[in-house]
Amino acid sequence: MAQNGNDQQDPNQRPKPFMNWRLLVPLLLIFFLVPMLINVFQGNNAGQEISYTRFKQLVSDGAIQRVVVQGEELTITPLGGTTADSGLFGGADAYTTYVPTFGDPDLLPLLRDNGVELITQPSDQPTLFGIVVSVLPYLFLLWIFFVLFRNIRGQGNSIFKVGENKAKLYDENQTKTTFADVAGLEGSKEEVMEIVDFLKDPSRYERLGARSPKGLLLVGPPGTGKTLIARAIAGEAGVPFFSMSGSDFMEMFVGVGASRVRSLFRDAKKKAPSIIFIDELDSIGRHRGAGLGGGHDEREQTLNQMLSELDGFEQNSSTVVVAATNRPDILDPALLRPGRFDRQVTVPMPTKDERAAILRVHAKNKPFDDSVDLDTVALRTIGFSGADLENLLNEAALRTARRKAAVISMVDIEDARDRIMMGLERKGMKVSAEERKLIAYHEAGHAVTAAALPNTDPVLKVTIIPRGMAMGATMQEPTEERYVYRRDYLEDRIAVMMGGRAAEELVFDSMTSGAENDLKQATQMARRMVTEWGMSDGLANTAMGEGDRSVFLGEQLSHQRSYSEATAREIDEEVKKILKGAFDRTLELLTGYRSAVDKLVDLLLKEEQVSGEKVKELVAAAGK
């Protein structure tokens, strides 16, 4: 695996459904259809309804055998085998009628005189329909409650478990990453080998009275491979590996963060020797007491509990804590003292050789044509992290698939690089001829200045194709990686930034808003030269830093400069002097190379993109 900053986690199990819909649908059918069927069934057996007057007449005619009285309802059974049965009733088995609400005192004597059997029943006698209708809703609600309880209990989301450990556990059979899978980072891997040796054979260190670091803090920019190194430590040591993000400790409930810290360390000790990995430690490890409020907020209580678990009254010698952050400057000093995170390992941006190794790892499953040179790609991706390099080859593969090609070419990789650095090409954007010419002169000013000055990086290409927020771009390709910058290099770099504005003034005798980003970068670099690097004539060899910076939201309220107002004015004057000197030098240079600028503009208007070799030829021809 290549170096990157992404966690490789086991795929989560598919969450259980809220309820089983295959069971719900039949239950709903039973709930609605059964009462209807019972009602229909009872309605068919109840018989036809006749009027009360007709009923009394039939009793007087001797055609009634039995009458069942239930409240005001009368169920009538005709006399079987009589002539009136077929003529008057039409062959039905039973009939119903209702006693008038005002009563009828003559009914009982009439039934007695005609020999009709009288049966009485209570009016509130339960029926099958009533029982089903009254019980079935309760059964339905009981079933829903059971399903909810089972799912909540199965997923562990009960309110009583909110403070339990939420870390993902990777045992020795799951964690397969080793240091052989980590491309580059040789120095960082050597630093962490002691922890691996200790977890494999702790007795060898204990015999010598040595103690392994309890905490290892991986520090570096995003995407450089901090998480990958942590997983490689677990894979090499062959021990259980608990992974958790710093934000996972925080919850809306008070005390949950500290409870989860205790639960995490308790579970890790049960599987000792083990490794705990906490990603983004700065989310809970910020400096205590730096906020505008008090010191008893939830985040600080979580930090206090973690400090206690790392090196408190109870000794912990079998569990190693590995954490990662890209903001070590804001961590609480108590975290960094010996006995807690007492070892810091820097995970820097990869060098050229390391970038080439990372690219080869990610290129294993991708087809490339003969034009692709990964060493050249590594040289042109200075400042790319491992994650950026993986994304670069992925974007190149996507571009190849879009154009329906079989192999990835160098053009695909270059286009992917431009897309990552400058954004998508704005194909639908319409630019007028006048603006297009102005943009061409602006970029030609940058390119010619970069090609003519001695201490600048070579020009890779110049383009006026709009990408992202930029209307054009001049890309330079460093020949080597620099870690220390000379003053003449920085001054020439500022001059290149001024090339666009100088070309506008030289050709159009005007200024445009297109130089906004150039001026911001030039001003920022000039100010750093004066205040941090002591590279000005008036304030030479003097650092005018901004002092200690607070790490909370209201830092502006307590910020104090480390120099006087008079010095601040002097700093501003030195910055202006550097910027004005760079602009005047660039304007003079472009005046002498005006022919190269005009020829480059003609090429840009015609082809939209010109290589750095062509720019070099034009500048060389104009300088003769």
**Residue closest to 388 by CA, chosen among 357, 415, 420, 363:** 420
Query: Among candidates 190, 268, 282, 301, which has minimal Cα distance to 236?
Result: 190
443 is catalytic: yes
Domains of the chain: 47-125 (3.30.720.210), 168-346 (3.40.50.300), 352-421 (1.10.8.60), 433-622 (1.20.58.760)
Global pTM value: 0.66
Whether the Cβ atoms of residue 463 and residue 473 lie closer than 8 Å to each other? yes
Q: What percent of the chain has pLDDT over 70?
A: 79
How far apart are the C-alpha atoms of 569 and 622, rounded to whole Å?
41
Q: State mean pLDDT over 155-170.
A: 55
Helix H, strand E, coil C: the string for 181-193 is HCCCCHHHHHHHH
What's residue 183's pLDDT? 79
405 pLDDT above the threshold of 60: yes
Sort strands 117-121 and 64-70 into parallel, antiparallel or unpaired. parallel
Q: Quote the DSSP letter at residue 122.
A: -
User: Which range, 124-133, 381-390, 424-433, 498-507, has the best average confidence (pLDDT)?
Assistant: 498-507
Q: What is the mean pLDDT of residues 129-142?
A: 73
Please name the residue that has the structure tokens 């990603």. Answer: 279
Residue 492 pLDDT grade (very low, low, confident, very high; cuts 50, 70, 90): very high
Any idea what the Cα angle at residue 540 is, between residues 537 and 544, rounded to 5°? 120
Element (H, E) at 339: none
**Whole-angstrom distance, CA of residue 219 vs CA of residue 327:** 8
Between 452 and 21, residue with greater pLDDT = 452
- Tens of pLDDT, residue by residue over 250-289, are 766 666 777 888 888 888 888 877 888 888 888 888 877 6
Q: Which residue has the higher pLDDT, 345 or 34?
A: 345
Residues 283 and 306: their CA atoms lie apart, in Å, by: 13
Q: What is the 3-state secondary structure (H, E, C) of 446-495?
A: HHHHHHHCCCCCCEEEEECCCECCECCEEEECCCCCCCCCCHHHHHHHHH
pLDDT of residue 82: 41
| Amino acid at position 141, single letter | L
Q: Which two tokens stand for residue 182?
A: 């980590």
Q: Is 308 in contact with 266 (CB distance < 8 Å)?
A: no
Q: Is 535 exposed, middle or buried (CB count within 10 Å of its CB: 0-12, 13-18, 19+)?
A: buried
Cα separation, 504 vs 443, in Å, equals 10
Give 19's pLDDT tier (boundaries 50, 70, 90): very low
User: Widest CA span of the chain, in angstroms?
Assistant: 143
Q: Which residues fall within 8 angstroms of residue 410, CB to CB, at 6 or more apart?
A: 369, 371, 372, 373, 376
Contact assessment for residue 224 and residue 5, using Cβ atoms and an 8 Å cutoff? yes
More confident residue, 17 or 521: 521
pLDDT tens, position by position, 555-567: 444 455 678 888 8
pLDDT, position 47: 56
In this prediction, residues 177-181 reach a mean pLDDT of 76
Q: Tell me: the pLDDT tens digits for 502-537? A: 999 999 998 988 899 999 999 999 999 999 999 988
Tell me which of 236, 443, 491, 504 is the catalytic residue: 443
